[in-house]
C-alpha cells in the first residue's frame, strides 16, 4: 500500500463547479500536511498547508481528519486556471511523501 | 522570492555516459533534495542533504550519487546513465527541518538513449 494515496482522476468539471479531492495516508505519526499544485511540465508549487482545524484560502478549503487519516481539498467556483494536478503531501522531519496527484480539468 | 535554479531544462544523454545535474538556491537554505517524477508514481526522493557536505540516501538512491560542497549548490550525478533513468528530475530546498515547505526548481527532463 502506498503511504499517500490519491484518486488520479481526471476530474472534468465545468467552470463554476465545486470539486473535492481526498487523499489518504498510512503513517499516523505524520506531523504536517500540504497541498501542492503542479501545472503541466512545470514544478510543484505550494498551494496551502492543511491544519487539523481546517483552513481556507479564498476559494480553497483544506481539511485534515487524523482519526480517519485523510485530508481533503475543496475548490469552489472553479476557474479555467485551476486546471492542474494537485499533489497531496505529508511531511515529518526529513521525510516528505508525495501522492501521485489528482488531475483536474476545468472546462468552459 | 526563493529561487531554485536547475542548470538544464532538457538533456539527452547516451547509455553509459556520466551525467551531472546541477541545482543552485539563493536563499541560504539548509536542506536540499533531489526527486525524480514519473507518470503514475509521483515524486520519489533520491537523495537529500541537510547541510554542507552532508548527504543521506532517499528511497531510490541506486545508480545515483550527490555532492554538496557549498551550501547553495547540490549536484546529482548519474555515474553511468541507463535508459530507466529517463525521467523528470526535480531539485528542491527548504530553510531547515522546522520549516517543511519545499521550493522546487523548474526541473530537468532527462532522456537516456
pLDDT in tens, B13-70: 999 999 999 999 999 999 999 999 998 888 999 999 999 989 999 999 999 999 999 9
Q: Which residue has the cell 495516508?
A: A25
pLDDT in tens, B57-106: 999 999 999 999 999 999 999 999 999 999 999 999 998 877 788 999 99
Q: Inform me whether the pLDDT recorded for A1 exceeds 70.
A: no
Q: Inform me whether the pLDDT recorded for A31 exceeds 80.
A: no
Contact (Cβ atoms closer than 8 angstroms) between residue A20 and residue A96: no
Of residues B83, B84, B64, the one with CA closest to residue B74: B64
Contact (Cβ atoms closer than 8 angstroms) between residue A74 and residue A11: no
Residue of B nearest to A87 (CA): B42
* Helix, strand, or coil (residue B18): coil
The residues on B that touch A, with CB distances below 8 Å, are 31, 33, 35, 40-43, 45, 48, 50, 56, 90, 97, 100-107
Q: Residue A98: which of B43, B48, B100 has the nearest Cβ?
A: B43
Mutate to test the interface with A, among B43, B49, B107, B108 (most CBs of A within 10 A): B43
A96/B105 touch (CB, cutoff 8 Å), yes or no: no
The Cα B41–Cα B20 span in angstroms is 23
Q: What region, left, alpha or beta, does residue A75 occupy, with left being phi > 0 and alpha being psi -120 to 50 degrees?
A: beta
Question: Residue B83 carries which DSSP code?
Answer: G
Amino acid at each position: 500500500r502506498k503511504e499517500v494515496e490519491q484518486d488520479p482522476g481526471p476530474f472534468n468539471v465545468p467552470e463554476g463547479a465545486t470539486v473535492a479531492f481526498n487523499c489518504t495516508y498510512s503513517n499516523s505519526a505524520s506531523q504536517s500536511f500540504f497541498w501542492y499544485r503542479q501545472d503541466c511540465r512545470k514544478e510543484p508549487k505550494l498551494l496551502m498547508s492543511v491544519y487539523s482545524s481546517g483552513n481556507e484560502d479564498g476559494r480553497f478549503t483544506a481539511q485534515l481528519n487524523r482519526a480517519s487519516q485523510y485530508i481533503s481539498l475543496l475548490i469552489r467556483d472553479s476557474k479555467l486556471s485551476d486546471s492542474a494536478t494537485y499533489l497531496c503531501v505529508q511531511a515529518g522531519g526529513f521525510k516528505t511523501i508525495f501522492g501521485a496527484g489528482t488531475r483536474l480539468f476545468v472546462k468552459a | 522570492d526563493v529561487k531554485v535554479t536547475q542548470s538544464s531544462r532538457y538533456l539527452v544523454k547516451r547509455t553509459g555516459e556520466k551525467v551531472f545535474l546541477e541545482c543552485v538556491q539563493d536563499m541560504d537554505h539548509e536542506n536540499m533534495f533531489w526527486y525524480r517524477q514519473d507518470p503514475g508514481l509521483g515524486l520519489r526522493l533520491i537523495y537529500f542533504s541537510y547541510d554542507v557536505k552532508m548527504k543521506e540516501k532517499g528511497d531510490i538512491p541506486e545508480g545515483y550519487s550527490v555532492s554538496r560542497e557549498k551550501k547553495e549548490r547540490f549536484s546529482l550525478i548519474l555515474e553511468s546513465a541507463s535508459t530507466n533513468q529517463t525521467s523528470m528530475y526535480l531539485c528542491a530546498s527548504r530553510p531547515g527541518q522546522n520549516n517543511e515547505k519545499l521550493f522546487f526548481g523548474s526541473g530537468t527532463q532527462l532522456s537516456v538513449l
